[in-house]
Structure 1
Amino acid sequence: MVIYISILFIFLLLTVMNILTMPRLKDQSDHESSKVSILIPMRNEQANAADVIDSVLKSTYMNKEIIVLNDHSEDLTENILDTYRGKIKVIQGEKLPERWVGKVFACHQLSRQATGDYYCFIDADVRLEPDAISKGLHLLKKHHAGLITGFPQFPAKTFLAKLLVPLQHFFVFFHLPNIVANHSTKPAFTAAHGAFMLFDKNAYLASGGHYAVRHSLVEDIHITRTLKQNGFRCILSNVTKSITCDMYETNAEVWGGFTKNIFTGIGRSVPAAFLVALFYISFYFIPLPLFLIGVFSGNWMLTVPLLIIFLQTFLIDAATSQSKLHFLLMPISAIALVILLSTAAIKGLNGSGYKWKGRIYQ
């Protein structure tokens, strides 16, 4: 038990180190000589279209253009976009080529229309604080980087969202040594979130842009690795004070979205999936039954593991503006993660594929 507790304590220390060393969006750009192209792909986004555009229009960074691609939407997205004529540029998506992923092709088309010195890709469910672009640009220039990205603050409305969505921050602050990720170009140390990606145009084009990752379901990670392979630094920042992403409205959307990404994100490796599942059961679920045994038996040492993982989760949630009570769900989140990963692996291996926004991806 002493060894088990020691391991969990090391996990806690590594997490604290990551929290303290991850850069934040703080200082704003002190000039606007650089033009920023804000690029937004949309497919059936009638619930988000107006709000995301309004948040971008309120940006304090004035030297910008806003381009939206309507990707064959079948709802009222196009009607909403029509009301912004004169304020933004709207383009209609071309037919999806064979083997391209829909969002990746949409971003590729947007990049061909962009005229800025920097390309900022955001999802339709993102809301930017007025100073977010200015702060992101300042950080990118400060680090002479090719890309600034980060995991936004995630409102979690449904039960599955409360279990799974905050784990995105947990993975980054726990598993990724961000000092190595941010200060080297080693592709193995990479994390990114496609909801907010601010590229230096030259780095983006020199690395092949979205064309280079046209087949990827986790294009955000793969395009970041591609930039690193081409010698460009990529900065993962804590952007939660400046950027919000309300990813999913229903439990079904949560399940579908994470199923699409999680197994693909670990390279569709069955051994890796098994090890991840074993790890989270061993270190993030087992502390719960140990705690209960400890309480009823009077062996208080058995209660320590749960208290450590509660503290680890609480610190991450506090640093990323998530619910301050999410830490209480961590053991259940671990089980949900294992079930999700198992489901995604089965779908990936049996050829049934992943359904997202009306399209099937293998």
Structure 2
Amino acid sequence: MLFAYSSVLLILLLFTIANSFFMPKLKRSGPAPGNAVSILVPLRNEERNVPSLITMLKKLTYPNVRFFLLDDQSEDQTYELLKQHAGPDKRFTLLKGEKLPQGWSGKVHACHLLSRHAETDLLLFLDADVRLQPDTLEKAVSMMRSKNASLLTGFPRFPVTFLLEKWLVPMQHYLIYVHLPLYLANYTGFPAAAAAHGSFMLFKREDYLAAGGHAAIKDSLVDDVHLARKMKATGKRVILANVTEDVTCYMYRSGKEAWNGFKKNIFPGFGRSLPAAAALCLYFAAVCIFPGLFAIYGAYELAAKQTFTALYFVPYVLSVLQKMYVDWRSRQSLMLAPAIPLSAAIFIALMAVSIYASFSRKGYDWKGRSYE
């Protein structure tokens, strides 16, 4: 039984490796792109991010770019810091948000307001905690043009500091490489095979508007995935790229933030589908948790009975290698991989909490707002 189980895990490892080759890396090719780009950043209570955000934007080397920064009714010094750090640079337009209308989620409404002010060919939606390499726009626009894409997106590199962050945040990359058929995502128009990360989404403006923009998904808590599916449903090409060499996201600043952020996104991210959530949890149990349990039993046998059975450890080694490969591709620390059973267990617990919050109508709290 353990031999057959290990064989399945080996096949999954090989699939993960093969699957990864259908996610292209950003690179610059051809003549310098000339399309004008508007970078649109919604900010709510982001005073900690404003100085480094604006410093980063000013260092971008793309020649034809404008910045639209919207203060979404912050309760801290976000707007004052925006004015201070943007200074006289005429590329910056600072905007004030409006009261959140009924039926809208906060970030979606802020992005919708931002999109109404930008008239350039390309729109790049960024989160305030994202940092780009100076030539990222050149690479992204070049890839968009070469792939004839209407949306280019990708999951950033995530520097992680807090323990819960280390266990949870890199699992976003794991889900993509292990569970999403990247050929279907990047080379077909199949809407269900779509993924995106809302911290970095570069659109052709005319195609974004034709798909309805953020107004078409106004109540979404996972606007990135829903927008990607909208784009595919209108016949437009979506490219999910490996942007980890060029885009960094400092996603959470505490374990509590990480817990609440995943709680808000995890069940809605699976369409609030109980069968899909159950299938994922069963996968994590079978592929990530059980190998750890077999290894613990093998260690017990070795310690208590001086009996070494290699097959007890093989599933865990294969599971760790799979996670290690994903971490290598996404530029995360390889030292995180041995904790894959614990990461999976916490992920399952969070899924249960997210499901309970959805069905109990307690909803989700994020940045001072509540959502069902």
Smaller-chain TM-score bracket: over 0.9
The residue number in structure 1 matching 2:43 is 42
1:114 aligns with 2:118: yes
- 1:114-263 equivalent positions in 2, closer than 5 A: 114-263=118-267
Equivalent position SS for 1:325 = helix
Equivalent position SS for 2:48 = coil
Per-residue deviation at 1:294?
Answer: 2.3
The CA RMSD over aligned residues, in Å, is: 1.1
Q: Which runs of 5+ in 1 are unaligned?
A: none
Structure-1 separation of matches of 2:334 and 2:199 = 23
The residue number in structure 1 matching 2:54 is 53
The CA deviation string for residues 60-97 of structure 1, in whole angstroms up to 9 with x for no partner, is 10101000000011111111111114321101001111
Equivalent position SS for 1:330 = helix
The residue number in structure 2 matching 1:33 is 34
Structure-2 separation of matches of 1:62 and 1:124 = 22
Equivalent position SS for 2:334 = coil
Structure-1 separation of matches of 2:250 and 2:191 = 28
TM-score (normalised: structure 2): 0.95
Equivalent residue letter for 1:122: L
1:32, 1:62 within 8 Å by CA — same for their partners in 2?
Answer: no
The CA deviation string for residues 8-49 of structure 1, in whole angstroms up to 9 with x for no partner, is 111101110122231001115633421000000000000001
Structure-2 separation of matches of 1:248 and 1:337 = 16
Per-residue deviation at 1:52?
Answer: 1.3
Structure-1 separation of matches of 2:191 and 2:20 = 21
Equivalent residue letter for 1:293: Y
Moved more, 81-90 or 179-188: 81-90
Equivalent residue letter for 1:315: Y
User: How many percent of aligned residue pairs carry the same amino acid?
Assistant: 42
The CA deviation string for residues 220-269 of structure 1, in whole angstroms up to 9 with x for no partner, is 00000000000001000000000000000011100000000000011112
TM-score (normalised: structure 1): 0.98
1:86 to 72, 85, 88: 88
Equivalent position SS for 2:95 = strand
The residue number in structure 1 matching 2:16 is 15
The residue number in structure 2 matching 1:103 is 107
Structure-1 separation of matches of 2:30 and 2:71 = 31
Equivalent residue letter for 1:300: A
1:298 aligns with 2:308: yes
Structure-2 separation of matches of 1:134 and 1:115 = 19
Equivalent position SS for 1:286 = helix
